[in-house]
Structures are given as C-alpha cells and as structure tokens.
Amino acid sequence: MEYICSTDEDDARRSHTHGSWVEDTEWLRNLLGAPNVGFAICDENLRYTFINQALAKMNGLPVEAHLGKTIEDMLGETAGQIVPWFRRVFSTGQTLEFQLTAELQSRNEVGYWTEHFFPIKDAQGRVKQVGAVVVELPEDVNSRMRRKEYTERLENLVQFSVSLMSTLDAKEVFSAVADFLKRMVAVDLASVALYDPESRTLRIHQLQSTFGAECKQCDSMPVTEAGCGASFLHGEMRIYRRDELGKVGFPCFGHLLSAGIQSVCFLPLITRRGAMGSLNLGSRDEVAFGDKDLAFLQQLAAQVALALENAESYREIKELTEKLNKEKLYLQDEVRSHRQFEGIIGESVALKRVLGQVRTVAPSNATVLVLGDTGTGKELIARSIHRLSSRNAANFIKLNCAAIPTGLLESELFGHEKGAFTGALTQKIGRLELADKGTLFLDEVGEIPLELQPKLLRVLQDQEFERLGGTRTIKVDIRLVAATNRDLAKSVSRREFRSDLFYRLHVFPIHMPTLRERSRDIPLLVRYFVQKFSKLMNKHIDTIPAEAMQALQAWIWPGNVRELENFIERSVILSQGSTLTVPLAELRSETELWQNDATLEGLEREHILRVLRETGGVIAGLQGAASRLGMKRTTLQSRMQKLGITREEYQN
C-alpha cells in the first residue's frame, strides 16, 4: 500500500467563497459524470448520502445498496485505510488527496485509485459532509511513475474544474482553457467551435497556436464545411492522421497539412441542451492523441462544455435582467403617465361609435390606425385596445415619433449595439423588443422619416429586424397601434409617406371625433376634471355655475380634451371656496384671438406659397423652402397641411 498525500487549505477556502459546496453539489455531479470518475458524499456518521453510477460500479455494488450504509459496511477491511482521511477532513476542513491500492471484498483483483476528498460546509462554515472524487487508474498503469503521471494530470484537471466554477464569461473560459492546455497537453493548435443556430455555422475561437495569436475569434464556417462538423453533428470524438487529412475533402485540412499539422482530434462539447460545438486539437506529432490520452481529453471536453454552458446561461440571465430593469424604468414612467388620465369619459353618439370599433378590433391582432386632431384622446383609445386584447398581460410600449430627433429615432425604435455610432457606449434595447408579445403604440407615425419607413414596414410584415450596428436578426411578436393627426393619404400623394406602409397601417382606421363634435360630453368631462384636480390640490369644490357650464359648452375647443383639461386645472387653482371659479374672460379673449388668427393664417399661407414657388416646390435641403423660412422640414409640412396648401398651388 502506498499513499501520496497532500493538503490544500486554499482549495477549501476557495470552495467556500462562491457559496457552500452544498449549493454547488448538483453542478459537481454533472461535472464528474465521466464513466471512470466516481463521486460520493458522506455525512458525519460516514454514511453515503449520494453516490454516482461510476463509483458504485467500482465498488462492485449497485447505487441503492450504498445509500444509508457506512463506508465500513460497503468496503470491509479497505475502509480502515480510507476512514481516517474522511475524519481528518471533518476535523480540519482541509482538502486531502492520496492514492489507494487495494482489493475490495466485492472484487477479486487488485485495483488502483486516486482519491480527492473535500469538505462540504453549511452557511456558518461548519463541515457537515465530505465529498469524494475517485478515479480508477487503468490496468496498464502499473509502474509508480505511470501512476504518478496519471494522478498529477487528474489533480490538475480537478483543480481546473474547480476554478471554472466561478468563471461566468465565455472569453475567460477560453483563456483558462488555453492556459490549461499549455501546461497539460502537448498540442500545437487548439480551438473551440461553437454552433450558431441562427446562421447555422460554427464560430471558431482560437485558443492556442504556434502559428498566430491566442484567443482570437476567427470567421465562422458552415457546419458541413468545417472539419469538426462531423464531431459536432454526431456527438462523437473524431481523430484524423496525416493520410486521412489528405483524403478528407475539407479545405481547412489542406491548410493544417501545409502548416505541419500531422494529426487532429475533435471532441464534441455536449451539455444538457445537446451538442454546442467541439474542442479541436492539432499536433505536429503523427501519433498524438493515443489511447492513454483519450479518457483525459474527454473529461477535459466535458468540463469545458459545462463551463461554456454556465457562461451562456449567465449571459442570457444578465441580458434578461438588464431588459427587465429597463422595462421596469420604462413602465414606471408609463404608470405615472397613465394616472394623468384614468379613463375615457363621455356618452355621446360619436364616442360610443368609436368604443364600438375598439371592442370589435381589440380581440384580433390587426394593425389599427387612430386618426384625429391633437388632444382627442388617441393614446387612450390605443390603451383600451391593448387592455381588451389577449395581449393585456404583456407590455404596452409607446413612442412619440415627433418628440424624438430624426437621428435618434431609429436607435429608440430598433435599439443599437455597443459602438454602433459615436456615443453608443453600451447596448440599447429598442421599443420593439420591449413590446415583444405585447402592443407597440406609435404616436405621430406620420413624422417617421422616409428612410426609416422601409424598416418599419419589414417589422410589420415579417416581425423581425436588426439593431442599429448589429447583424443578428431579432424576432418579435408585436401588435401595432399607430396614431396621427396628419392626412396620410395626402402625404402619400405628395410622396412624403410610403404608400405600402400606409396601406399596412390603414388596416383598421378609427377616426376620433373632436370635442366640438361631442359637446354633450363636455359637462361630464368638466365634472371629472374638477373632481380630479380638487383632490390633487386638497380642495372641496361641489358647485359649477350654470353660466360657466354653458360657456364651456359653447366654446369650440381647438385643443380638444387636452385644452379642456388644462383650462379646468387653471379654474380649480383660481377657486377659493366650494364654487368653481371659471375665467370666462379668457374664453372671450381667445375667441377674438382665434378670429384674428384666421386673418394671420391667411397672410402666413400666402407667404409660404410665395417661398415654395420661388424654390420650385423644393422643401428640404439648404436651398429648400424650410431652410429659407427658418423651419424644420417636418414643421413646414405640418403647417402646409394645417393651412391646406396643396402641391398644385405652388408647382406649375
């Protein structure tokens, strides 16, 4: 019997910094799933609480026979050589490693094992269990030197596995694997190929090479054209020698031969989700990757696969967390916005007609275009459509296309990748992704610039897009509700709006009535706003003078419900007692101003027409009418629409 024993207090300390061993037990079980790697956990009474199939097979008894039994029950006399090491781990909390040569009572031949014991601590740092990693050495490892070499390899592999437990970034995994290969495996070329399901290619990440830089990401290759493709597709190890490299028709094999590579080994990276790629090794030695190396390399590939799977899971969780945090901030703002107007108030025929249309279209996924003057409640209608749809459990995301500069609108809508443009310091998730499975409301959709309209059309037709500066196609499931106060049909005729996008938006149009078209709703709205603002300002107003109500109903309200809301808020502020003080003089002065505005609008109309004729009908550009008038292109177009200026009036 010979023992090679060492302790490593640092390993035990590191095992506790990432959480207790108990928390990582499931991870370790998966990690040590190779057929010649045994794993067991024993409690303070040295009873088996867990044992894997591999160790049970080494002991010559089934798994069920071990559970609840002591080490003495299962190993007989050999237990006397092992129990002291278990007790030492319990008492010191240190990791122990040693080799064992023995003849088990359930087997007739002498066996050779290397054993690695480590403490499993509770939340208070007390050792409550001990874990054992047991590897049976091959029969041909008879000499002390061969066993020592094999043991050293295994010990390094176990330490490497433990270090990967806290590595949650794929690049760090690649770097750690590259360092390990340099120390433990005599290869001249090493890489990891990871499968990209969207492009159906294998992306090659170079780990080690005597011909170039390390850890450099190479171009991707189709699976059928990559030398490692067969290993990935069939989930099995493939080894090619020099003669085979020359016969197999992969272009990369020719490059390997010209670089002096005589043999290659492809090991599949298999996880619980299936194969994710391969570990690729190359050597100038034609007889590399012999039988004595294969078990070790397979264990290495299994641990690399698990580490990369953990890194990918961490990346997905991190992205989802960031997305949820952004959604939370956005939705908190939406809640505040929504509380400013809690419902649709009114009983007029015009409003009931609109609500009937909402009930009709809401259950479908059809695109809805809400048309109407500013302040008529287009956003409230969009929210009602969302609440009455099957998507009401998901997000309602809104974007005012007129409130965002043209240069930033694409980024806001589609998102952007880090470095997509100057100032893009981080990745940004666009409103389309936030609205996935829910409803996207585009207010003032008529203000979307022409160059951006084809991208929006693609989203409506194919439900997919790419972030600004990105190449990955992102699939979404959204329902679009758009709104505008512009006449989009006229914009199409003036070639200011794409006809195909207009027809895609104009699936189910809803026309919002102006407040003067639903004057019978004004008393209801006035009472609602008086109650709302009285409560906010801690006032008690229970009387609205009849004269004031009549004046409010007689006013034309060019700003519609929004104007009425602001006027009532001002009235509540002015009110000192229980009676609403309505500044009727403002309505009269506004009437006179509105009448004067009619004359001013006529003068403005003539001025704009004169400039348009002088520029030959050109609106945009340095020499265009908008520049000469000191306006933005979109502002001039909006004024032209409001003043009823047509192309025929300024073009010959």
Q: What confidence tier does 17 reach under pLDDT thresholds 50, 70, 90? A: very low
Token digits of residue 619: 């609106």
The model's pLDDT over 256-266, given as tens digits with 9 standing for 90+, comes to 877 788 888 99
Backbone region of residue 76 per phi and psi (left: phi > 0; alpha: psi in -120 to 50; beta: other values) = left
Predicted pLDDT at 586: 78
Q: What confidence tier does 464 reach under pLDDT thresholds 50, 70, 90? A: very high
Residue 417 in any domain: the answer is yes
Domain that holds residue 88: 6-141
Nearest to 139 by CA among 177, 164, 111: 111
CATH code of the domain containing 352: 3.40.50.300
- For residues 178 and 132, membership in a common domain is answered with no
- For residues 423 and 464, membership in a common domain is answered with yes
CATH code of the domain containing 71: 3.30.450.20
- For residues 291 and 350, membership in a common domain is answered with no
CATH code of the domain containing 525: 1.10.8.60
The model's pLDDT over 298-328, given as tens digits with 9 standing for 90+, comes to 878 888 888 888 888 878 787 777 766 655 5
Domain finish residue from 511, 542, 575: 511
Helix pair 170-184, 144-164: axis angle to 10 deg = 170
- For residues 302 and 174, membership in a common domain is answered with yes
**What is the number of structural domains in the chain?**
4
- For residues 117 and 199, membership in a common domain is answered with no
Q: Tokens 């008038």 identify what position?
A: 629
Residue 18 in any domain: the answer is yes
* Range from 343-352, 372-381, 544-553, 590-599 carrying the lowest mean pLDDT: 590-599
Secondary structure element (H or E) that encloses residue 465, with its range:
strand 464-466
Phi, psi of 504 (to 5 degrees): -75, -30
Predicted pLDDT at 5: 33
Residue 160 in any domain: the answer is no
How distant is the alpha carbon of residue 210 from its chain centre? 37
Contacts within 8 Å (CB) and 24+ apart, 174-177: 174/205, 174/207, 174/215, 175/215, 176/307, 177/207, 177/279, 177/304
Higher pLDDT, residue 60 or 434: 434
- For residues 50 and 125, membership in a common domain is answered with yes
- For residues 431 and 462, membership in a common domain is answered with yes
- For residues 307 and 372, membership in a common domain is answered with no
- For residues 33 and 130, membership in a common domain is answered with yes
Nearest to 228 by CA among 273, 276, 182: 276
Q: Please tell me which of 125-129, 175-179, 601-605 the model is most confident about, judged by mean pLDDT.
A: 125-129
Higher pLDDT, residue 339 or 518: 518
Say whether pLDDT at 510 is over 90.
yes
| Helix (H/G/I), strand (E/B), else coil: 314 | helix
Residue 150 in any domain: the answer is no
Nearest to 157 by CA among 352, 347, 292, 300: 300
The model's pLDDT over 416-447, given as tens digits with 9 standing for 90+, comes to 888 777 777 888 888 999 999 999 999 999 98
Domain finish residue from 511, 526, 545: 511
Residue 622 in any domain: the answer is yes
Residue 288 in any domain: the answer is yes
Domain finish residue from 511, 540, 562: 511
Per-residue pLDDT, averaged over 352-370, amounts to 93
* Range from 126-135, 482-491, 503-512, 632-641 carrying the lowest mean pLDDT: 632-641
Residue 599 in any domain: the answer is yes
Per-residue pLDDT, averaged over 462-466, amounts to 91
The model's pLDDT over 394-413, given as tens digits with 9 standing for 90+, comes to 999 999 998 888 778 888 89
* Range from 142-146, 154-158, 537-541 carrying the lowest mean pLDDT: 142-146
- For residues 480 and 544, membership in a common domain is answered with no
The model's pLDDT over 225-284, given as tens digits with 9 standing for 90+, comes to 788 888 888 888 888 888 777 777 677 777 787 778 888 899 898 887 788 889 988 888
- For residues 372 and 503, membership in a common domain is answered with yes
Residue 332 in any domain: the answer is no
Q: How many CB atoms lie within 10 A of CB 130?
A: 23
Per-residue pLDDT, averaged over 194-223, amounts to 70
| Helix (H/G/I), strand (E/B), else coil: 412 | helix
Alpha carbon separation from 529 to 12, 375, 541, 563, 572 (Å, rounded): 68, 15, 11, 12, 9
Predicted pLDDT at 482: 96
Q: What confidence tier does 590 reach under pLDDT thresholds 50, 70, 90? A: low
* AA identity, residue 289: F
Q: What confidence tier does 107 reach under pLDDT thresholds 50, 70, 90? A: low
Q: What confidence tier does 105 reach under pLDDT thresholds 50, 70, 90? A: low
CATH code of the domain containing 186: 3.30.450.40
- For residues 491 and 529, membership in a common domain is answered with no
